[in-house]
């Protein structure tokens, strides 16, 4: 069945490079938009071309979250008010995803609130990657296409032919993800158990599993301040690992993250381009290898646009 609606791809300001590469894989051009700013910081995005009757894809990673999320919501609202047939938010990184439950009294569930805001703005579907918790998909009252970056990372790790490979989860919550990698790579799993003093501050880490003599790859969904990752890598090295590498989809890399990674036992860190890595020359990025997700996103968009199944295009 052929879709009669025109496909149009637009970029918010934070994800212009990702959108250009994505559009290239789709064989279309990024649509023209502008964003007028007021002196008090208020801004108003506008489309410079018609979107009437079109299936509109708006690309935006919400990192940093607040202003980028608001820009995405305004873009969705503008497209709906301009009579777009369908508006789909392409969010390589879904901010606020760590707030997926009430883990202590009197806190918000930010991921649910963001889902409600997207619905209220007129969003018809979200395409995102490696949510912090799979159950966040249930917060939405419309379809979510959840892409797994393992579709890119696993073939890359296989191509490296690392001997004595072991996959490690940096905490108990990452065990499912680590098991998925280990299943495809046919290697053992190591589980790190951590305790936190407070948010973004790791108190202690212990590792469970056979570490000595292994080339360990730690698998996680994101690197924020890199406290957990670097402490886990140092512990694994002290326990006799031959080498320690890391795979993380979302390179938030806030605060002292770059310095911690540079000084840690990590030999390499494989990340995706869901969040653009800094161009700041003062940051040490020598350990980083960036893998592109745009082709994977394009394949999912093509399948959805043509009413085809997407499941066979992903490694879970």
Q: How far apart are CA 12 and CA 174, in angstroms?
A: 31
Please list the residues that pair with 144 across neighbouring strands: 126
* pLDDT tens digits, one per residue of 6-42: 999 999 999 999 999 999 999 999 999 999 999 999 9
Answer whether residue 3 shows pLDDT above 70.
no
CA distances from 211 to 118, 174, 178, 193 (A): 44, 17, 15, 14
Answer whether residue 5 shows pLDDT above 60.
yes
CA distances from 167 to 51, 69, 206 (A): 46, 34, 15
Residues designated catalytic: 194
Strands annotated E in 163-214: 165-169, 189-198, 201-208
Answer whether residue 194 shows pLDDT above 80.
no
Answer whether residue 1 shows pLDDT above 50.
no
Residue 274 Cα to chain centre, angstroms: 5
Strands annotated E in the chain: 7-11, 33-37, 43-47, 55-59, 86-91, 125-129, 144-147, 165-169, 189-198, 201-208, 215-223, 243-251, 268-272, 288-291
37 three-state secondary structure: strand
Tell me which residue of 220, 299, 231, 298 sits closest to 266, measured CA to CA: 231
List the Cα angle 227/199/255 in 5-degree steps: 50
Global confidence as pTM:
0.93
* pLDDT tens digits, one per residue of 63-103: 998 999 999 999 999 999 999 999 999 999 999 999 999 98
Query: 214, 166 in Cβ contact below 8 A?
Result: yes
CA distances from 30 to 43, 51, 106, 125, 316 (A): 21, 13, 42, 19, 30
In the predicted model, what is the mean pLDDT of residues 250-262? 95
Query: 166, 216 in Cβ contact below 8 A?
Result: yes
pLDDT at 198: 60
Please list the residues that pair with 219 across neighbouring strands: 247
Q: Which residue has the higher pLDDT, 314 or 156?
A: 156
DSSP string, 118-174: HHHHT--EEEEE--SSGGGGGG-SS-EEEE-THHHHHHHHHHHT-TTEEEEESSGGG
Q: How far apart are CA 241 and CA 248, in angstroms?
A: 19
In the predicted model, what is the mean pLDDT of residues 192-208? 70
Query: 275, 248 in Cβ contact below 8 A?
Result: no
Answer whether residue 218 shows pLDDT above 50.
yes
In the predicted model, what is the mean pLDDT of residues 138-147? 96
Alpha carbons within 13 A on the beta-carbon side of 221: 23
């Amino acid at each position: 069945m052929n879709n009669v609606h025109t496909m149009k791809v637009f970029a918010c300001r934070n994800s212009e490079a990702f959108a250009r590469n994505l559009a290239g894989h789709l064989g279309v051009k990024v649509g023209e938009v502008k964003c007028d700013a007021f002196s008090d910081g208020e801004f108003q995005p506008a489309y410079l071309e018609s979107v009437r009757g079109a299936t509109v894809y708006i690309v935006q990673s919400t990192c940093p979250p607040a202003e980028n999320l608001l820009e995405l919501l305004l873009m969705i609202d503008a497209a709906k008010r301009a009579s777009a047939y369908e508006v789909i938010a392409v969010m390589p990184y879904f901010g606020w995803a760590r707030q997926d439950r009430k883990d202590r009294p009197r806190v918000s569930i930010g991921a649910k609130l963001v889902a409600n805001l997207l619905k209220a703005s007129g969003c018809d579907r979200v395409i995102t990657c490696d949510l912090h918790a799979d159950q966040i998909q249930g917060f939405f009252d419309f379809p979510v296409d959840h892409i797994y970056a393992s579709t890119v990372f696993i073939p890359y790790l296989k191509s490296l032919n690392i001997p004595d490979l072991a996959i490690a989860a940096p905490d108990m919550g990452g065990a499912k993800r680590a098991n998925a990698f280990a299943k495809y790579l046919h290697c053992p799993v190591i589980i790190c158990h951590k305790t936190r003093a407070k948010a973004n501050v790791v108190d202690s880490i212990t590792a469970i599993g056979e570490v000595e003599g292994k080339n360990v790859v730690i698998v996680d969904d994101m690197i924020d301040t890199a406290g957990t990752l670097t402490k886990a890598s140092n512990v694994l090295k002290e326990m006799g690992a031959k080498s320690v590498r890391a795979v993380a989809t979302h390179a938030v890399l806030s605060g002292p993250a770059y310095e911690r990674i540079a000084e840690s036992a990590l030999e390499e860190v494989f990340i995706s381009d869901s969040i653009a890595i800094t161009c700041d020359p003062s940051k040490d990025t020598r350990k980083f290898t960036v893998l592109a997700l745009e082709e994977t996103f394009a394949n999912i968009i093509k399948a959805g646009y043509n009413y085809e199944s997407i499941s066979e295009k992903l490694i879970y």
